[in-house]
Amino acid sequence: MSGTHDRLVYMANQIARNFAVQGETAAIAATARHIHDFWDPRMRDAIMAGEDAGLSDIAAGAIARLRGTLRSG
């Protein structure tokens, strides 16, 4: 699973990087929203279940936010 996890981390960081220009708060929200809207649940579950190591601050913030909304829901 590690190869896939690395790839998911790469994808999350790439999304975060492209939203970064909006400022951290907005970028975290946008990244979380994007992953929520476009990722298959097993990918979301995998990144939420995995280590945050390697995630950028924005990506980590977005994953943290997803953990809050998706797990509670």
Partner 1 sequence: MAYEPQADFGTPEVRADTQVTLTIDGRRVTVPEGTSVMRAAAECGGAIPSLCATDSLAAFGSCRLCLVEVDGMRGTTASCTTPVAQDMIVRTQTPRLEKLRRGVMELYISDHPLDCLTCSANNDCELQDTAAEVGLRDVRYGYAGAHHLGQQPDLSNPYFLFAPDKCIVCSRCVRACDEVQGTLALSVEARGFASKISAGQRADDFLSSDCVSCGACVQACPTSALMEKSVKAHGKPERAVITTCAYCGVGCTFRAEMRGEQLVRMVPWKDGKANRGHSCVKGRFAWGYAHHQDRITTPMIRESIDQPWREVSWDEALAFTAGRISAVKAQHGARALGGITSSRCTNEETFLVQKLVRAGFGSNNVDTCARVCHSPTGYGLKTTFGTSAGTQDFDSVMDADVIVVIGANPTDAHPVFASRMKRRLRQGAQLIVIDPRRIDLVRSPHVKAAHHLPLQPGTNVAVMTAMAHVIVTEGLADEDFVRARCDWDEYQDWARFVSASQHSPKFLEAVTKVPAAELRAAARLYATGGNAAIYYGLGVTEHSQGSSTVMAIANLAMATGNIGRAGVGVNPLRGQNNVQGACDMGSFPHELSGYRHISDAATRRMFEQDWGVALDPEPGLRIPNMLDAAIDGSFRALYIQGEDILQSDPNTRHVAAGLAAMDCVIVHDLFLNETANFAHVFLPGSTFLEKNGTFTNAERRIQPVRKVMETANGLEDWQVTQALANALGLGWAYTHPAQILDEIARLTPTFAGVSWDRLEREASLQWPVNDQFPDGAPVMHVDGFVRGKGHFVVTDYMPTDEKTGPRYPLLLTTGRILSQYNVGAQTRRTANTAWHPEDVLEIHPLDAENRGLKEGDWARLASRTGETSLRVSVTDRVAPGVVYTTFHHPETQANVVTTDYSDWATNCPEYKVTAVQVTPSNGPSDWQEDYAGLTARSRRIAAEPGE
Query: Where does this chain bind partner 1 (CB under 8 A)?
Result: 1, 3-4, 7, 11, 14-15, 17-18, 20-22, 34, 37-43
Nearer to partner 1, 14 or 25 (CB): 14
Secondary structure (3-state) at 58: helix
Nearer to partner 1, 37 or 72 (CB): 37
- Here the tokens at position 30 are 């946008």
Q: What angle do CA 59, 64, 65 make, to 5 degrees?
A: 95
Shortest distance in whole angstroms from residue 59 CB to partner 1: 11
- Here the tokens at position 24 are 């951290």
- Here the tokens at position 16 are 């975060």
Shortest distance in whole angstroms from residue 15 CB to partner 1: 5
